[in-house]
Structure 1
Amino acid sequence: MVSRAHTVAFEGVEARPVEVQCAVTAGLPAFSIVGLPDKAVSEARERVRAALGSMAIALPSKRITINLSPANLPKEGSHFDLPIAIALLAALEILPDEVAEETLSIGELSLDGSLVPVIGALPAAMSAAEEGRSLLCPHGCGPEAAWVGAAKVIAPKSLADAVRHFTGQCPLEPAQPGEVASHGGGRDFRDVKGQERAKRALEIAAAGRHHVLMVGAPGAGKSMLAARMPSILPPLTPAEALETSMIHSLAGLLDEGGISRDRPFREPHHTASMAAIVGGGRGAKPGEISLAHNGVLFMDELPEFPRTVLETLRQPIENGEVVVARANAHVRYPCRFLLVAAANPCRCGHLADPSRACARAPGCGDDYLGRISGPLMDRIDLRVDVPPVGLMDLDLPDSSEGSTEIAARVAKARDLQTRRFANAQGCRVNADAEGAELEEVATPDSEGRALLLKVAERFGLSARGYHRVLRVARTIADLDGSESVRRPHIAEAVSFRLSLGTSSAGQARPRNRATEATVSSASGT
């Protein structure tokens, strides 16, 4: 007789169904696990044996074979302990077969039989709901898994509690969802002195999820501005919160089962490896760009990141997802993030300061910012110079406009986009619009079109750059409450697109006064 239990194996954010088959047959005493298990799964037999022993359940002197089906799917992680124990208890007729059939289980067993929390409870609960099963998981995972209301979640503290529940000796109440965590408050744009143009760029970026690059001398306030970005972003919608929490669940970042409505803010160091940024490593774990899904990815000192890491950002920025390719699997993670990047104008950072300019100017700036390739720079919608703040400005009173006022305008613009793209597949904000959809919502008036064509011809905008200007102009129009995209909206979008000049190699460098005059002439100002 073969008993069956059910669990999942994780491939990215997808939970692949796995059937745990247990056969107890005559033969030499043995306990083997087959079905492409990794080392942690193979060691489950010792943990299961000890856990059953702590419950005074002795294994029979027979051959016990556990098969994890499908056998060609790699099985990784300690969460297979509990389903293996459930299948074995059903084979020993301690648990009814229908219990094992109707339950999807995940969990790690301690030697004393207690259940240890594991990652991935939220995707597992989603899979259980789709299959019409209840979920059995450790007590620490219950509040997290219970957010999927379509699945009944049983969260015992030990294997003995699970047995008593299923045999009717001591039924357990279904787990309840955890608290909605919030880390709001703290940093406010009211603390920023000056830098009105940079604050305007970040407001536009937040309203339409446009990528932004700030270039300025050390101490100008680039990191300070970026750190206040979450304070003006609207809270996650329920659908976005579930998407983001599934990724964080796989990474083990959910605190005590609480799902956060705050948008993620990730700030990797420039020494981070490609696997840390994009994803990979053992088990092809999600990287920083996926952990920033529906939130902000802040990359300070952008030119200091390895060139290979920067170039791998090009496809995720364009497609909103990343594929971690391995020899035995291709793992796909979503990564629709808002990139906020900061850089010094040169290695010493004082290229634009006449009193402290380095001896290598102006080639120093070309060499340093030249590490950002043209194709990557072309994907950044907003580029803004952040000048140093004078000492006299620091004595000025706080700005009359803080994060609350800016966030209200951003939320209003986001509401317009939500209604606009309500029936659009895969499009939530202006940055996602493309093709016929972009032409329909962002077609400028005659004066705006004439200005855009003039600027595109004079400055050699690529087709991608042309469309990104249209998207930014649409967001500026939303912030302005305008139904149509007009010439002032195009002019402001173009000014942010050309806020940094280009070197002969097509890479960014700080603009000089001659470039400013050329932009003004093209814009007719």
Structure 2
Amino acid sequence: MFATATTVAFQGLEARRIEVQVQMTGGTPAIVVVGLGDKTVSEARERVRAAFASIGLAIPPGRLIVNLAPAAIGALPHDALDGVVCFCEVGLDGSLASAPGALPAAMAAHVGGGLRAKPGEISLAHQGVLFLDELPEFSQQALDALRQPLETGQVLIARANHHVTYPARILLAAAMNPCRCGGGGVGVGACRRGPRCAIDYQAQLSGPLLDRIDIQLDVPPVTAADLALPSPPEGAAEAAARVMRARDAQSSLGAGLNAVLDQASLEKIATPDAPGAALLAKAAESLALSARAYHRTLKVARTIADLDGSDAVPRIHVAEAA
């Protein structure tokens, strides 16, 4: 006797179709699970035995060979599960409980599965902000792992028998002190170890990682005089409204937000005027900008122009972006 059922297993966020094959043969009564199933699958034999006993059914005599996962046979016609995807947890009393991941299973019941590789913080921050304080204190391996997601908006996790891709389109914000001592600079509170401390500390950040950070600012310490200044005329609400207008302007062009523009769209939308183009060419030569940094500067300049409500990208916006 042979029967099949269909279920799904997860590989990252993907659901892959799994066909459960069960065959009853002669021999010593037993349930044999074949394949490379994980511990949950191997323990399913006892769960099936308990579930059958609880609902008053006897496991058919003979040797039951199950490929990948358990499937109950005998209580249903052999074709009763045709066109059905089984996605639940079998209780010891024979009840069927909902299982995590039903939504992706319903959306993609024909795909899924494998050993689970959990998403990290960068994927949990997808379509949001990931803030890393004291950036150089993170390990070099952790920092270098940011390079691919910042470039592609995805993170690829490689395992021995499969690869998992998670979404990771984030806005990365980071902060750091000038040196490990926290002082840096000159004057009161300056680092007593001298410039070498700042050089060594900042060297923890690789050039390729910094090349993927669009805006880098040196923020001077706040002085007592700064604290006495009145609040800026533009508050948080006004700034947020200006940002939303800029995003709407970008979306209306049909190419997406500036951060995800490809090179062709960038040349069409973000080409500066003649003085701006001349300034960008001079900056690229004097600062030895990489191709990535060159296009990054164009994106930032286009964004500054959007915030100013400008259709063109004039020289002043290129200067601020560079």
Task: Sort the Cα spacing of 1:7 and 1:483 in 2 relative to 1 into closer, same or farther, 3 A.
Answer: same
Q: TM-score, normalised by structure 1?
A: 0.57
Residue in 1 that maps onto 2:91: 110
The separation in 1 between residues aligned to 2:248 and 2:58, in whole angstroms, is 62
Task: Sort the Cα spacing of 1:478 and 1:18 in 2 relative to 1 into closer, same or farther, 3 A.
Answer: same
Residue in 2 that maps onto 1:279: none
Residue in 1 that maps onto 2:53: 53
* Matching residue's letter, 1:43: E
Superimposed CA distance per residue, residues 187-234 of structure 1 (whole angstroms, 9 cap, x where no aligned partner): xxxxxxxxxxxxxxxxxxxxxxxxxxxxxxxxxxxxxxxxxxxxxxxx
- Return the offset for 1:116: 4.9
Matched, 1:126 2:107: yes
Residue in 1 that maps onto 2:117: 284
The percentage of counterpart residues that share the same residue type is 56
Q: TM-score, normalised by structure 2?
A: 0.90
Residue in 2 that maps onto 1:22: 22
The 3-state SS of whatever aligns with 1:125 is helix
Superimposed CA distance per residue, residues 431-467 of structure 1 (whole angstroms, 9 cap, x where no aligned partner): 2223222111111000111111122222222221111
2:297 pairs with one of 469, 474, 497: 469
Residue in 1 that maps onto 2:143: 310
The separation in 2 between residues aligned to 1:386 and 1:99, in whole angstroms, is 68
Q: Report if aligned partners of 2:12, 2:116 keep a CA contact under 8 Å in 1.
A: no
The 3-state SS of whatever aligns with 2:259 is helix
The separation in 2 between residues aligned to 1:332 and 1:459, in whole angstroms, is 35
Residue in 2 that maps onto 1:4: 4
Residue in 1 that maps onto 2:263: 435
The separation in 2 between residues aligned to 1:394 and 1:95, in whole angstroms, is 77
Task: Sort the Cα spacing of 1:406 and 1:4 in 2 relative to 1 into closer, same or farther, 3 A.
Answer: farther
Residue in 1 that maps onto 2:82: 101
The separation in 1 between residues aligned to 2:95 and 2:178, in whole angstroms, is 57
Q: What are the within-5 Å matches in structure 2 for residues 448-467 of structure 1?
A: 448-467=276-295
- Unaligned 5+ segments in structure 2 are none
Q: Report if aligned partners of 2:181, 2:191 keep a CA contact under 8 Å in 1.
A: yes
The separation in 2 between residues aligned to 1:21 and 1:409, in whole angstroms, is 59
* Matching residue's letter, 1:123: P
- Return the offset for 1:311: 1.5
The separation in 2 between residues aligned to 1:26 and 1:357, in whole angstroms, is 84
* Matching residue's letter, 1:318: E
- Unaligned 5+ segments in structure 1 are 69-79, 132-245, 251-281, 423-427, 495-525
| Corresponding residue pairs, total | 321
The separation in 2 between residues aligned to 1:102 and 1:342, in whole angstroms, is 54
The 3-state SS of whatever aligns with 1:332 is strand
Q: Report if aligned partners of 2:10, 2:116 keep a CA contact under 8 Å in 1.
A: no
Q: Which moved more, 1:118-127 or 1:344-353?
A: 118-127
Matched, 1:347 2:180: yes
The 3-state SS of whatever aligns with 1:363 is helix
Give the structure with the larger helix fraction. Answer: 1
The separation in 1 between residues aligned to 2:302 and 2:100, in whole angstroms, is 41
Matched, 1:370 2:203: yes
Superimposed CA distance per residue, residues 397-451 of structure 1 (whole angstroms, 9 cap, x where no aligned partner): 76664443333222222222223235xxxxx321222322211111100011111
- Return the offset for 1:107: 2.5
Superimposed CA distance per residue, residues 139-188 of structure 1 (whole angstroms, 9 cap, x where no aligned partner): xxxxxxxxxxxxxxxxxxxxxxxxxxxxxxxxxxxxxxxxxxxxxxxxxx
The separation in 1 between residues aligned to 2:232 and 2:17, in whole angstroms, is 55
Task: Sort the Cα spacing of 1:376 and 1:100 in 2 relative to 1 into closer, same or farther, 3 A.
Answer: same
The 3-state SS of whatever aligns with 2:155 is strand
1:319 pairs with one of 152, 164, 168: 152
Superimposed CA distance per residue, residues 312-343 of structure 1 (whole angstroms, 9 cap, x where no aligned partner): 22222112222222221122222221111111
* Matching residue's letter, 2:185: A
The separation in 2 between residues aligned to 1:96 and 1:417, in whole angstroms, is 58
Q: What are the within-5 Å matches in structure 2 for residues 181-330 of structure 1?
A: 283-330=116-163
The separation in 2 between residues aligned to 1:47 and 1:487, in whole angstroms, is 71
Matched, 1:483 2:294: no
The 3-state SS of whatever aligns with 1:464 is helix
The 3-state SS of whatever aligns with 1:100 is coil
Task: Sort the Cα spacing of 1:341 and 1:52 in 2 relative to 1 into closer, same or farther, 3 A.
Answer: same
- Return the offset for 1:380: 0.8
Task: Sort the Cα spacing of 1:353 and 1:54 in 2 relative to 1 into closer, same or farther, 3 A.
Answer: farther
* Matching residue's letter, 1:465: A
Superimposed CA distance per residue, residues 338-385 of structure 1 (whole angstroms, 9 cap, x where no aligned partner): 111111110011113521112212221111011101111111110112
* Matching residue's letter, 1:414: R
The 3-state SS of whatever aligns with 1:285 is coil
